[in-house]
Structure 1
Amino acid sequence: MIELPRAPAHVEPYIEALGFDLAVEFLLEFGGTAVYLPDRAGGRGEVERFLGAEKLKALKGQEHRMSARVPRPKRWLAMVLRAQGLSEARTARKVGVTDKTIRQWMRGPGGNASQLSLF
Structure 2
Amino acid sequence: MTSAKAKTEMKEIRVPAHVQPYVTAIGIEKTVRFLLAFGGSYVYLSERPQDRSPVAKEIGTEATKALAKEVGAGGFRAPTAKPFIAAHLRYNKGLTTNEIARQLHVTDVTVRGWLKTGESKQLNLFDD
Q: 1:72 aligns with which of 58, 68, 80?
A: 80
Secondary structure of the residue that 2:109 maps to in structure 1? helix
Q: 2:43 aligns with which of 13, 35, 40?
A: 35
For residues 107 and 24 of structure 2, the distance between their equivalents in structure 1, rounded to whole angstroms, comes to 30
For residues 74 and 106 of structure 2, the distance between their equivalents in structure 1, rounded to whole angstroms, comes to 25
Stretches of structure 2 that go unaligned for 5 or more consecutive residues are: 1-8, 121-128
* Alpha-carbon contact 1:13-1:65 (below 8 Å) kept: no
Name whichever structure is richer in strand by fraction. 2
**Runs of 4+ in structure 1 over 3 Å off:** 64-67
How many pairs were matched up? Answer: 110
Normalization by structure 1: what TM-score?
Answer: 0.81
Q: Percent identity?
A: 39
Normalization by structure 2: what TM-score?
Answer: 0.76
Q: CA deviation at 1:105?
A: 2.0
- Per mean C-alpha deviation after superposition, the further-off stretch among 21-30 and 65-74 is 65-74
Stretches of structure 1 that go unaligned for 5 or more consecutive residues are: 111-119
* Alpha-carbon contact 2:41-2:78 (below 8 Å) kept: yes
For residues 25 and 2 of structure 1, the distance between their equivalents in structure 2, rounded to whole angstroms, comes to 22
Q: RMSD across aligned C-alpha pairs, in angstroms?
A: 2.2
